[in-house]
Structure 1
Amino acid sequence: MAADIIFEEELRRAVDAEVNRALASGLDADLTHRQLMDRAKLLVVAALWSRSSRAGDLKLIETATESVLALRRRQGPRGLFIGGGNVDSPPDSAFTVNDLCDTLHLLRSTRSAMSIAGASALAGELDAIADAVEPALLVGGVHTPNHRWEITAALARLHRRRPSPALAARASEWLAEGVDLTADGVYSERSANYAAYVSNPSLTVIADVFDSAEARAAVVRNLESTLGLIHPDGTVETVHSRRQDQLSRFALSPYLMMYRRFAVLLDRGDFAWAAERAREQGIVHPASVLADLLLEPRSGEQLPEAIEPEAAADWAQSALAIDATPRRRLVVFGGSDYPRFRRVRSGLSTNPTFLRLFAGAAVLDSMRLSRDFFGLGPFRADRAAADHVDGVRHYRLSETASANYYQPMDPVRRNASGEYALTDDGRFFGSMSFADRAADAVALRTDVDVVATDDGASVAIAFDGPECTWALELSFRGGAFEGVDLQSDGTALLTAGAGSYRCGDSRIVFEADADYRADGVGRYRPGEDYTFLGATDAATGDRVYLTGRSPGRVTLTLRAESARS
C-alpha cells in the first residue's frame, strides 16, 4: 500500500525540530545514560531516513558518535550503566540497550548507511558497548513486572544482533512465567504509561525475534482493551493504575506506533481510529517513532478506514466501568488495593477517586469522599458490584472502615517489665502487643450507589456508624462554578440545592436532594498515611464540597447540559 503522506510529513517536521534542539543544546554533562543513547538514536535515524531534511548528514553521525563515546564512559565494571536511582541496574541498563541495538541494527541494515563517513566506526562503538553489557543482562534480575519484558526485549535484540543459545534460553526463562495480562486485557500494573512505553513495545520485538504468538496476542489484546479507556479529551483512563500515572492524566499519543502497526498488519479499523486520534495530539519522542517506522516500514502505510469502537465496557478484575451516551461519559471505579493492604505504596492502586464524568468541554475529573474517622483517610471501596437490568446500569461501591480500642492485657500475658511487642494496629505501631489483647471495634460502613442516567448519574451515599463529619469533593477543570458559595481558600461549598460547573457551551449540574444542608468544613482529608509525613494526595483543579455528618444518607444528581439551554 501507499505511504501515509500526512503522517510522514508530520513526523518529518517533528524529527527536524528535535534534531535542531539536540544540536543546539550540545552534549550536556548532566545527560543520563538513557538520554545519551536517545540523543544518538535520534541523530542516526534522522541521517538514515530519506525523508529527513538532514538525510546523509555527516554532522549527525559525528554528533551521535560523541554521545555514544560519552555513553561508553558511563559503563561500570560489569558493563551496566552508571547513574540513576536504581544502582547497578540490569533493567535500567536494558532500556538503553534496547535503543542501542535498534540504532545498531538500522546502521547495519539500511542500504545507504555505511556510505556516510563515520557510520562504520559508530557501529563498532555500539558493538563494543553491547558486548560489555551482554553478560550482565544474561544473569541480571528485575524488580517490577514490566522490567521482565524490557530486559527480555534487550535479550531479543542482542540475539538479533548475534544469535546466541544463551540469550534465547534466558529470554525463554522470563517468557515461561507467562505474560501478566489479566482477563480485562490490561497488564498487572494496570498502567497506561508502562503499557505504552514498556510492555507493548517490548513484547512486540520479543514476538518478532522469537516468533512468540503469546507475546503478540498480549499486545493486540491490550490495545483492544485500551480502546475503551480512551476519553473524549484524548486521555487514557488511569484511575485504576498501580503506578505513578494513577494520579495524573495520560495522553494517547505514546500509543501511536503500536496502533499504526497493528491497524495496518491486521486491517483493524478500530486501531486506525485510535492511531489517528493519537497523531492529532502531536508526535512525541520522534526518535522512537521514526526508529519504529524504519524497523517496520509497513507501519507507515495508509491506515484502513477508521471505525470508532464501542463506548461502554467493564474491566471486572479492576472493578472499573465506563459507560457512555451521546450526552456524557461516566467512569466508576471500585478496585483500590488499599482495603487489602492498608497502606499506600508504589505498585498499589490507592487513588480514592471513584467517579468521573465527561460532558462536552466540561469535565468532572474526580469525585472523592473523605471522613473524620480515626485518620483512616478517604473512602476506597473494599467491595464493588455491577448490575445491569432493563438497560439501567447500577454500581454499588462499599467500604467498612474500622478502628480498635484495646482492653487490658490478659493476666497470663502481662509482663512485669512493661515491655510488649512493637506491633501494627492497622493505623500505627505501638509497643502494645495488639494481637494479644481483646479489642472493641468502632466501624463505619459506607455504601455508594451509582445509577447511570442518559444525561449523567445519580450518586446515593449512605453512612452507617458513629457520628463523624464527611466531605464529598468534586474536582473539575477548565471552566467556572455557578450557584455555589466560593470560599476564601479558592474552593467552593454547595450549601443546599444545585450548583453547576460551566466550560464553554457545556455544563455539569450537581444537585443534592431536598434534605441536604451543608454541615461541616469543606476540605479533603488524605489520612494518616500522608499526614504523618506532611504529604497529601489531594486533587487539584476547581473543587466544590458537600458536607455532612454520619449516620445518614445524601443523594447527588449529576446532569450534563448545554449551557445554551
Structure 2
Amino acid sequence: MTDFDRAFASRARAALEREVQGIRAESGDLWRRLQHRRLAERVHALAAAWHLTGDSGVLAPAARLTGLLRERQNPGGLFRGGDNVDSPPDSAFSVNDLADAAWLLRGTDEGGALVQLLDGMTPALVKGGVHTPNHRWELSAALARLHRLRPQRAIADRVEQWLAEGVDIEDGLYSERSANYAAAVSNPSLLVIADVFDRPDLLDAVEANLTATLDLLLPDGTVETVLSRRQDQRHPMPLKLFLLPLRTMAILRDRGDLAWAAGIALEQGIVAPAHAATDPVAGRALPTAVPPPVPRERHFAAAGTLVAHGPARTVVVFGGSDYARHRRIRSGLANSPTLLRLHAGDTVLDSVRLSRTFFGLGPFRAGSLTVTPGAATLSETVSAAYYQPLPGDGTGRYALTDDGRFSAAMDFAHRPRDEVTLTTEVQVSRTGPGTDLTVDISGAAVDWALELAFRPGGTMTGARPLGGDRWHLESGTAAYGGLSVTVVEGPRTASESEPGYHPGEDYEFLGGTDAAAGVLLYVTGKAPSRLRLSIV
C-alpha cells in the first residue's frame, strides 16, 4: 500500500512484541488472580501477535486464558468480578477485546473457542442495561463487534435503540466531560459502531471531540480535566490515550492539526499496541502535520471553561462546577474548586483556589463563567441559615431533614430562617504579558485564603515560609520559577486564621480532602474585601 505508515507500524509492532513477551513470562497463578478485563486484554494481544507473525507459540497461552475467562462466567453469560455485579457494560469492555481477538484468529481452533464463549454472552449484552453515559457506547461497540462476527438482526436493532438516544455531545465534549472516558471509551466505541453499521454521522461526534481536545491540550502534553465530571477531574490525562482516534480522524477527514496532535501522542507511547498494530485505518500514512494557530482561545460555554493559548503561556479559567446546582460532592459531578491554571514555560501554576471559613461549605466553586474580550468573570453566592422555633407539642419530635449542609431532626423546611450570605466574584484579566486576578467578597465577615499551588521544581522568594513548602505573601511580590505574584491591592482587614485550605464539611465529615499538592503560596484576608493580584 502506498499510504502505509511503515514507521508507525514498526513502533506499534515493537510495543506489541514487548507486551507479548511480558505475557508469556507470566505465571498461571497470576492469571488466576486477575480480573476478566485484564485477561481479555492479554488474549487480544496474543491474537494480534499471531495475526501479524503467524507465531503459533502464542496460541496455547491464549487458549488457557480463554479457559480462565470461561470459568469467570455467571450462569447468564456475563463475567464475574468488580463491584458492579453481573454487569453488561463491564463485561462489554472484555467482549470488545475478545471479539477483536476472535476476528484476528478466525479459522483457528482458538478463534472458534472464543466465538463459542461470545455466543454465550450475546443474549445478556443484547438485553442488558448501563449506568453511565459512556457505557451506552462501550456496550454498543461490543455488540457491533459481535455483529461483525455473526450478524444478527437482534444485535443491530439493539444498537439502533441506543443510538436513537443521540450522542451525548455538546461543544465537542461528551456529557461526562472526561478526557479519560472520551479517549478510552466514547471515541473508539463510536468509531467501531460507525464502521460496522455504516454510520458516518457518528464520525462527526468523534471529530468534534478531538477538535475540542486540541483546544484543551496543555503545553506539557496533557489534556485539561478540571471540567471533568469523573475521576480524572483532579489528574490531567496524557494525550497518548487519544492516539488511535487522532490518527484515524486525521486520515479520514484529512486534518493536519489532528495529525500534529497524533505525533505528540505517539512520542508519549502506545498504550494499546494490539489495536495500534492491527487497525487498518490508523496504520495508514497521516496527512502533513499542521500545528493549530497561536494565539487562540476557546470558551466552552456549557462546561464553564475558558482555555487561552498564547505564545508564552496558556491560561485555563474554570467556572463550570456542578456544586452550585447540586450542593453535593458526588461521582458524576464536576466538583473541582480550581478556578485558574497557568502554564508559563517550565513554570506551572497548577491550581488557584479560594478557601474561606463559612459554615463548612468549602471553597469557592463558581457555577457560572462570563467571558468578555480580555477577561473572564466567575461568581458564586452561598448562604446558610439559623432557624427559629416551631410550635411544638412538647414531645421534642421533629422530622429528620436536610438543610443542605447537614441533617438533623429539626424539620428545617417548615421553620422560619435567618439567612447569612456570602457573595464572591473573581475576574481573570488577560492583558499584556501577564494575568491579573481580582477577588471581591461581600456579605458576611469571614476569613479567606487564596491558595496558589505551583508544580514543584522552582525556588520561592519574597514570601514568608510557613514550613513544608507552604508560604504566605502579605504584601509586595513573591517569585517562583519564571512567575512573579504581586499584591497590587490587598484587603483592608487581615485574616485572624492561619493560612490554609479548608475542603468543607462534605470531605471533612468523612475524614477526606481534595487539597491541592505542590508548593503552596497563600494570600489571606477578611471579608468584605477586595484583592488584586498580578501574575507575570
TM-score by length of 2: 0.96
Deviation at residue 522 of structure 1 after TM alignment: 1.6
Deviation at residue 288 of structure 1 after TM alignment: 3.1
Q: Secondary structure at the match of 1:445?
A: strand
Separation (CA, whole Å) in 2 of partners of 1:300 and 1:285: 13
Of 328, 342, 348, the residue aligned with 1:363 is 348
Of 240, 243, 246, the residue aligned with 1:253 is 240
Match of 1:563 in 2: none
Of 456, 461, 465, the residue aligned with 1:482 is 461
Contact 1:327/1:454 (CA < 8 Å) preserved in 2?
no
Q: Secondary structure at the match of 1:453?
A: coil
Match of 1:494 in 2: 473
Contact 2:491/2:526 (CA < 8 Å) preserved in 1?
no
Separation (CA, whole Å) in 2 of partners of 1:415 and 1:186: 55
Contact 1:496/1:516 (CA < 8 Å) preserved in 2?
no
Contact 1:402/1:443 (CA < 8 Å) preserved in 2?
yes
* Within-5 A mapping of 1:207-246: 207-246=194-233
Q: Structure 1, unaligned stretches of length 5 or more?
A: 50-54, 109-113, 115-119, 560-565
* Residue type of the alignment partner of 2:519: D
Match of 1:509 in 2: 484
Contact 1:137/1:151 (CA < 8 Å) preserved in 2?
yes
* Within-5 A mapping of 1:478-557: 478-480=456-458, 481-502=460-481, 507-515=482-490, 519=495, 520-557=497-534
Of 95, 99, 102, the residue aligned with 1:97 is 95
Q: Secondary structure at the match of 1:25?
A: coil
Of 386, 394, 398, the residue aligned with 1:405 is 386
Separation (CA, whole Å) in 2 of partners of 1:439 and 1:482: 48
Separation (CA, whole Å) in 2 of partners of 1:221 and 1:145: 17
Of 306, 325, 328, the residue aligned with 2:313 is 328
- Map Cα deviations across residues 407-446 of structure 1 (whole Å, 9 max, x no partner): 111x3xx343221111110100011110101100000111
Match of 2:429 in 1: 451
Separation (CA, whole Å) in 2 of partners of 1:175 and 1:255: 23
Separation (CA, whole Å) in 1 of partners of 2:150 and 2:215: 40
Tell me, yes or no, if structure 1 residue 305 matches structure 2 residue 288.
yes
Aligned-residue CA RMSD (Å)? 1.3
Separation (CA, whole Å) in 1 of partners of 2:490 and 2:195: 62
Of 146, 161, 166, the residue aligned with 1:173 is 161
- Map Cα deviations across residues 111-155 of structure 1 (whole Å, 9 max, x no partner): xxx5xxxxx111121011111111101111100000011111111
- Map Cα deviations across residues 358-390 of structure 1 (whole Å, 9 max, x no partner): 0011111110011000000000013321111xx
Deviation at residue 478 of structure 1 after TM alignment: 3.5
Q: Secondary structure at the match of 2:173?
A: coil
Q: Runs (4+) of structure 1 moved beyond 6 Å?
A: none
* Within-5 A mapping of 1:149-298: 149-182=137-170, 184-290=171-277, 294-295=278-279, 297-298=280-281
Deviation at residue 514 of structure 1 after TM alignment: 4.7
Of 120, 125, 138, the residue aligned with 2:126 is 138
Match of 1:52 in 2: none
Deviation at residue 60 of structure 1 after TM alignment: 1.0
- Structure 1 stretch displaced more, 218-227 or 196-205: 218-227
Separation (CA, whole Å) in 2 of partners of 1:47 and 1:455: 56
Contact 2:489/2:530 (CA < 8 Å) preserved in 1?
no
* Residue type of the alignment partner of 2:207: V
Contact 2:489/2:531 (CA < 8 Å) preserved in 1?
no
- Structure 1 stretch displaced more, 210-219 or 173-182: 210-219
Match of 1:562 in 2: none
Separation (CA, whole Å) in 2 of partners of 1:356 and 1:495: 22
TM-score by length of 1: 0.91
Separation (CA, whole Å) in 1 of partners of 2:246 and 2:499: 44
Contact 1:357/1:456 (CA < 8 Å) preserved in 2?
no
* Within-5 A mapping of 1:348-427: 348-388=333-373, 393-409=374-390, 411=391, 414-427=392-405
- Structure 1 stretch displaced more, 448-457 or 145-154: 448-457
Separation (CA, whole Å) in 2 of partners of 1:261 and 1:515: 52
Change (3 A) 1:546 1:133: same
Of 433, 439, 442, the residue aligned with 1:461 is 439
Tell me, yes or no, if structure 1 residue 122 matches structure 2 residue 110.
yes
Separation (CA, whole Å) in 2 of partners of 1:462 and 1:524: 18
Tell me, yes or no, if structure 1 residue 32 matches structure 2 residue 35.
yes
Deviation at residue 25 of structure 1 after TM alignment: 2.1
Tell me, yes or no, if structure 1 residue 2 matches structure 2 residue 3.
yes
Separation (CA, whole Å) in 2 of partners of 1:458 and 1:65: 62
Deviation at residue 287 of structure 1 after TM alignment: 2.4
Match of 2:72 in 1: 74
Separation (CA, whole Å) in 1 of partners of 2:235 and 2:442: 32
Contact 2:138/2:189 (CA < 8 Å) preserved in 1?
yes
- Structure 1 stretch displaced more, 311-320 or 88-97: 311-320
Match of 2:48 in 1: 45
Contact 2:299/2:371 (CA < 8 Å) preserved in 1?
no
Deviation at residue 516 of structure 1 after TM alignment: 5.3
Q: Structure 2, unaligned stretches of length 5 or more?
A: none
Contact 1:497/1:516 (CA < 8 Å) preserved in 2?
no
* Residue type of the alignment partner of 1:105: W
Tell me, yes or no, if structure 1 residue 432 matches structure 2 residue 410.
yes
- Map Cα deviations across residues 247-295 of structure 1 (whole Å, 9 max, x no partner): 11200001001111111122110110110010111112322322xxx24
Change (3 A) 1:454 1:68: farther
Q: Secondary structure at the match of 1:557?
A: strand
Separation (CA, whole Å) in 2 of partners of 1:185 and 1:240: 13
- Map Cα deviations across residues 302-342 of structure 1 (whole Å, 9 max, x no partner): 21111112441110100100112212110001000001000
Q: Secondary structure at the match of 1:513?
A: strand
